[in-house]
């Protein structure tokens, strides 16, 4: 018997290629987070101008994010970074995500980017895989495990993050 068990292979490989359509975009998000949970990825990025058409209120994606948080609970620096331009009606549109944000507030950091006129990319990023939506009107997305693309996107996200300010607090304080 060994002290270091061999990690189990992933039940499903990371999705790769070009995808078109809202259902495919939603499936990519769910599959990406499920894989991140399976691999206990210590860092996840969710980036979009307003997350209006992301399935952040759907049970399957929220379960995947919960699974990720549990899978990385022993990693002291594991973090979900959420970067957006507008979170105005997040509490109305995505109540399940708001609940997750509150439960895992020590692991979920949210920032608002408002520097310049350019819009943020629509991205799910992990250290092993990334999905970027290239056209939000037709939901055209590209998913890849390619190192160069992941690194380039990570650098861009880090730059945007450094220019952003904290936002979308975990709790709504009132008087």
Based on the structure, what is the number of domains in the chain? Answer: 1
Residue 151 lies in a domain: no
Of the two residues 13 and 46, the one the predictor is more confident about is 46
Report the C-alpha gap between 121 and 118 in whole angstroms: 9
Report yes or no on 162 lying in a domain: no
pTM: 0.88
Instruction: Answer whether residue 4 shows pLDDT above 80.
Output: no
Residue 57 lies in a domain: yes
4 falls within a domain: no
Stronger pLDDT, 96 or 130, i.e. the higher one: 130
Answer left, alpha or beta for residue 168, where phi above 0 means left and psi between -120 and 50 means alpha.
Answer: left
In the prediction, which pLDDT does 2 show?
Answer: 44
Q: Span 139-156, mean pLDDT? A: 95
Give 109 or 94, the one with higher predicted confidence.
Answer: 109
- Under a CB-based contact definition with an 8 Å cutoff, are residues 56 and 65 in contact? no
Instruction: Find the domain containing 37 and state its range.
Output: 17-142
Q: Read off the CATH number of the domain in which 41 is found.
A: 3.30.870.10
**Which two three-digit tokens encode residue 21?**
């359509």
* Percent with pLDDT over 90 in the chain: 65
pLDDT at 122: 95
**Residue 126, C-beta contacts closer than 8 angstroms, at least 6 positions apart:** 32, 35, 36, 39, 41, 43, 44, 45
């Amino acid at each position: 018997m060994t002290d270091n068990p061999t990690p189990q292979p992933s039940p499903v490989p990371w999705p790769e290629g070009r995808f078109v359509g809202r259902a495919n975009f939603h499936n990519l998000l769910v599959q990406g987070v499920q894989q991140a949970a399976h691999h206990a990825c210590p860092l996840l990025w969710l980036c979009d101008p307003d997350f209006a058409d992301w399935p952040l209120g759907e049970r399957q994606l929220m379960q995947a994010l919960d699974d990720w948080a549990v899978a990385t609970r022993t990693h002291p620096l594991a973090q979900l970074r959420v970067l957006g331009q507008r979170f105005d009606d997040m509490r109305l549109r995505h109540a399940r995500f708001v609940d997750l944000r509150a439960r895992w507030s020590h692991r979920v950091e949210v920032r608002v980017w408002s520097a310049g006129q350019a819009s943020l990319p629509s991205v799910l990023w992990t250290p092993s895989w990334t999905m970027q939506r290239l056209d939000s009107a037709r939901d055209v997305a590209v998913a890849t495990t390619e190192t160069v693309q992941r690194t380039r996107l990570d650098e861009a996200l880090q730059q945007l993050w450094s220019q952003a300010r904290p936002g979308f607090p975990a709790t709504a304080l009132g008087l």
